[in-house]
Chains A and B, each alone.
Chain A
Amino acid sequence: MAIAKEQLDSAEKRVLQIVSRYGANEEHLLQILHDVQADDNSLSEAELIQVARAMDIPLSRVYGVATFYSMYSVRPRGKFIIRICESAPCHITGAQSVIRAFEQALGIKMGETTKDRKFTLEYTSCLGVCGVAPAVMINDRVYGNLTPDKVQEVLSACEND
């Protein structure tokens, strides 16, 4: 298979550690994938191969789970995942213009990741903070009452994090 041995080797140790923490039982797969993803917000092919081997379950099953749940991504994602709420309250309070501002500032479209793997733009369902719509969540933090002007400020806050 066209996957570099170095990639496989470098994923191996971390994955084995995580799997041994929970036990190689399929019922822990979701948690294991969560922890494996924690380093760079995405699940690489090498990582999933190692998970499959360590747990002795088919790679196809691991990949199926990783692509079924929206909390995982098998595509590379940035250090900061900007999740923009697309539910009705955010929509009417101007989420669209905020989205456009993010896209312009980062030079990417929704669903994409910046080349330096710093930022990813994603949609999310309601964040439950409709009182401060439009809102975005960046990693674990929520930013409310956004306008296009505030976008740069929010991004800088991340950079300085």
Chain B
Amino acid sequence: MDNVNLTIDGQVVEVPVGSTILEAAQLLGIDIPTLCYHPDQSIKAVCRVCVVEVEGQRVLQPACAYPVAEGMQVRTNTARVREARKTIIELMLAHHPQDCLQCERNLNCELQALAHRLGVREVSFPYVERQLPLDELSPSVIRDPNKCINCRRCVSVCHDIQGVGILDSVNRGFDTVVSAPFWRSLIELSCVNCGQCILVCPVGAIKEKDDTEIVWAALADPTKHVVVQTAPAIRVSIGEELDLPPGTRVTKKLTTALRRLGFDRVFDTDFSADLTILEEGSELLERLSAGGILPMITSCSPGWIKFIEHYYPDLLGHLSTCKSPQQMFGALTKTYYAEKAGIDPEDIVMVSIMPCTAKKFEANRPEMTDSGFVDVDVVLTTRELGRMLREAGIDFAELPEEEYDAPLGISTGAGAIFGASGGVMEAALRTVYELVTGTELENLDFEDVRGLEGIKSAVVKLPLKEAAAAQEVAADNPQTLEVKVAVAHSLKHARVLLEQIRSGEADFQFLEVMCCPGGCIGGGGQPIPTTNGERMERIVAIYEEDKGMPLRKSHDNPAVQTLYEEFLGKPLGEKSHKLLHTHYQAREKF
């Protein structure tokens, strides 16, 4: 017997064995309130706001954890249940700052919404102010533990999805709160700045460091030339932040909106994503032919970079030396673009719009100043840009459509798919294939590396241009070069492959790692909520974006070709090395 029948509030429902009451109720359209429950996490059952009456059970039971059984009778809407839920919310409010009007999460807060929905009009317990210290030192993620409701969702994502484990419950009894060891700041620990804890926090206890004021000031300063770049993932998510359905593509409205905010040039990180492919693809081929360190691992994701620096410093040699597209973009803006436009780099303010909180830390790294100027001056997340657009009163949905500015706004579909897990790999394969074989790739879609599966892999056979070249790279089979690739997203999955590299079992030459689940479209700077449901919608949108582009291979990008002709010379050339490549440092683990 695979299904069971149970009755919830008088309605009979049939669900698979092993379902919970919460899931069964959802099928009936009964929305049981939850707080610690998260659709992408294991069941914690700590908040108890989901309690229901189960016939035969003396005490109320948590619907999120309670398994269904044949003939079970459940009531979700009795006076006793309503009273219990309310008491639980009131107990939380009894030490929760009554701060909604000033809070980032106002109108997008699960506690606030539940208090409203459950009709909490007064709190029957005395208010106790907790006076816990704020942690505002990190350039990426800041915390106000006074607002924490101990749901443990951030603990779950930090330990179980990211395999990092910075936050956990401390103390006991009334003093229990989720925090960092010894009340250290995240900046002092081996936090990777991924911001996944922000995405799952139901309240305003964790948030990004808000840098919008710096951008407003730059836009208002007539002596500044303010240039903006937009990451691939923004075009499929900023609409969502502004109340459009998840996965709405708004590329050409985004450009209009940025111009209306007052940016002097609206450029595209997709451009430097294409450039990254030429540099990184060349680096891979060089390592393959010259016996360099393999597998080579991608380096675009700054949360991932900080992770490997703290947790696998012995493997730093495997990282591509390429800077991330954001940083390459900044370095070129302050050199190539400044020169072309005849503007003193000193007067340029480079702002980037990123789906990512770790990008804020990356932009602050002291080594990201090779041109003599800071590559990127300010990083805003998708949420912060949404905040600015709302404040400016820009009616996003009604905007006319405009193009990016040339030349650094010109890009291909390969640049766009950087926004999804597997995209960098796919873009690289499209280019490496044609560089190695000298023939046109017929099917551009590498389906094996797409989607939300944690670890993906593919084998690509490259028929070689000349047998002679082959002697160097694949002695056993001079006619083809076989490249085995792997893709991991979320650091827990990355760990699996890193352990294989450490033990020598890794059976691949090229590895793409993205720190966040789903890649950048699921980054810690994205609209809240971001669950795997929203991630899937955005992934679909980003591959549609790719399909809709006239050019879909990075090496076909005419602006990148011109950049090499006019400025860089060739991939991995002297200028590239100075401006576009970087180095890494081992960091301690705390």
Interface residues of B in 335-382 (CB under 8 A from A): none
A1 x B590 contact (CB < 8 A):
yes
Residue in B165, B169, B182 whose CB lies within 8 Å of A58: B165
Shortest distance from the beta carbon of A133 to any chain B beta carbon, whole Å: 25
Question: Chain A: interface secondary structure?
Answer: helix
Q: Is B219 an interface residue (CB 8 A)?
A: no
Partner of B164, one of A49, A57, A58, A74: A58
Within the complex, which residue of B169, B171, B172, B189 is in contact with A59, where a contact is CB–CB below 8 Å?
A: B189
Known: A1-B184, A45-B182. A67 touches B171 (CB 8 A): yes
- The residues in B between 539 and 590 inclusive whose CB is less than 8 angstroms from any CB of A are 588-590
Residue of B165, B167, B590 with most chain A CB atoms under a 10 A cut-off:
B590
Inter-chain contacts of A29 with B (CB < 8 A)? none
Give bound CA distance, A69 to B170, whole Å.
10
When C-beta atoms are compared, the residue in chain A nearest to B187 turns out to be: A1
A110 → B minimal CB distance (Å): 16
Instruction: Quote the shortest CB–CB distance from A67 to chain B (angstroms).
Output: 5
Please encode chain A, from 59 to 77, with 1 for each CB lying within 8 Å of some chain B CB and 0 for all others: 1111110011110001000
- Asked if B188 and A60 make an inter-chain contact with CB atoms under 8 angstroms apart, the answer reads no
Q: Size range of the interface on B? A: 10 to 19
User: With A and B bound together, what is the CA distance between A58 and B165 in angstroms?
Assistant: 6
**With an 8 A cutoff between CB atoms, is B159 at the interface?**
yes
Give the docked Cα–Cα distance between A63 and B171 (Å): 9
Q: Tell me the interface secondary structure of chain B in the complex.
A: loop
Cβ distance A15 to chain B, nearest Cβ, rounded Å:
15
Contact B188 A59 (CB under 8 A): no
Q: Is the CB of A60 within 8 A of B168?
A: yes
Q: How far is the CA of A58 from the CA of B589 in the complex (A)?
A: 9
A68 to chain B, nearest CB (A): 5
Taking a contact as CB atoms under 8 Å apart, the answer to whether A49 and B171 are in contact is no
Contacts A/B (CB < 8 Å), 25 sampled:
A1-B184, A1-B188, A1-B189, A1-B590, A2-B188, A45-B182, A49-B590, A53-B589, A57-B165, A58-B165, A58-B166, A58-B168, A59-B181, A59-B590, A60-B167, A62-B181, A63-B181, A64-B168, A64-B169, A67-B170, A67-B171, A67-B172, A68-B170, A68-B172, A74-B182
Q: What is B's interface to A at a CB cutoff of 8 Å? A: 159, 164-172, 180-182, 184, 188-189, 588-590
The 8 A-B pairs at the shortest CB distance, nearest first, are namely A58-B165, A63-B181, A60-B168, A64-B168, A1-B188, A67-B170, A59-B181, A68-B172
Extra A-B contacts (11), CB below 8 Å, given A1-B189, A48-B182, A63-B182: A1-B188, A45-B181, A49-B590, A58-B165, A59-B189, A60-B167, A60-B168, A60-B180, A60-B181, A61-B168, A63-B170
